[in-house]
Chains A and B, each alone.
Chain A
Amino acid sequence: MQLINQMRLEFLSIPANVAFARVTVAAFASQLDFTLADLEEIKVAVSEAVGNAIIHGYEHVPDRFVKVYAALTLDTLEMRVEDDGKGIEDIEKALQPAFSTDAERLGLGFVFMQSFMENFRVESTMGRGTTVIMSKSTGNSMARASEVT
């Protein structure tokens, strides 16, 4: 599929940057014909992925960096959220609803990402970090393709 735009963000692992990341990715994604509801879902997915990197990947250490890559094809946002943190020991377990290492968290971050996005997957190596990969399509590829050609 033809790539029409790409972006890269790198920011400190502090909670204030969760909002920065989600608003930036949603603004980038709005170049496609996403509905407002779609953009809200993208915002939740970005918040969860970046929040996980800060809380679990870097365990709240504030001077590390979270990286977000996003690309647009004619009808799809593809994105990747990366940290170089401690990694996930058991990805399958981490993907279970209500699994959380923190008593006051819901353990639903991955559930939201899986529910709101497509082609969701997690890659992680202990001591090296975690990458969350996900995408979302507008379902309007024909309309957009005809506009472009």
Chain B
Amino acid sequence: MLLDIEMKKDTLFVRPNGELDLGVADRFRRALDETIEKGKAKNLIVNLTKVSFVDSSGLGVLLGRYNRVSKNGGKVFIVAPQPQVRKVLDLSGLLRIMNEYPNENEALEKIG
């Protein structure tokens, strides 16, 4: 998994590329936590366009960051998951707590 992270104002853009499973979950978690901490990110936009696979380990990392960000009054948005990834997100119930947008700009507008 490759990870592109960009901070814009108080929103952290996360663009993982590859597969989010148990093999990368720890690295993914650490990278997000360090950046959220360092940049004082309030909101999180996770762009899943380039994620080809996710399982419950990958979703667990997203849920953990959701809990952390929302505790501080922030929002977590999901952008453009591929159909097979979306199916898993949907079944997990995460799409009921994290809004989904077709692109980063729309997500950013909604965060306001």
- Name B55's closest neighbour in chain A (CB-CB): A47
Complex interface: chain A residues within 8 A of B63 (CB): 104, 106
Complex interface: chain B residues within 8 A of A54 (CB): 22
C-alpha spacing A44/B89, complex, angstroms: 12
> Contact mask A81-96 → B, CB, 8 Å, 1/0?
0000000000000000
A47 in contact with B84 given A105-B57, A105-B60, A108-B59 (CB within 8 Å): no
Say what secondary structure dominates the interface of chain A: helix
Within 8 A of B (CB), among A86-128: 102, 104-109, 111-112, 115
Complex interface: chain B residues within 8 A of A40 (CB): 53, 84, 87
C-alpha spacing A16/B60, complex, angstroms: 17
Question: Residue B22 contacts which of A15, A107, A112 (CB distance < 8 angstroms)?
Answer: A15
C-alpha spacing A109/B19, complex, angstroms: 17
Chain B contact-residue range equals 20 to 34
Complex interface: chain A residues within 8 A of B84 (CB): 37, 40
Chain A contact-residue range equals 20 to 34
B3 to chain A, nearest CB (A): 16
Is B64's CB under 8 angstroms from A51's CB?
A: no
- Name B57's closest neighbour in chain A (CB-CB): A51
Question: Residue A51 contacts which of B22, B29, B87 (CB distance < 8 angstroms)?
Answer: B22
C-alpha spacing A16/B64, complex, angstroms: 21
- Name A46's closest neighbour in chain B (CB-CB): B55
Confirm or deny: B12 has a beta carbon within 8 angstroms of a beta carbon on chain A: no
Question: Residue B23 contacts which of A15, A102, A107, A115 (CB distance < 8 angstroms)?
Answer: A15
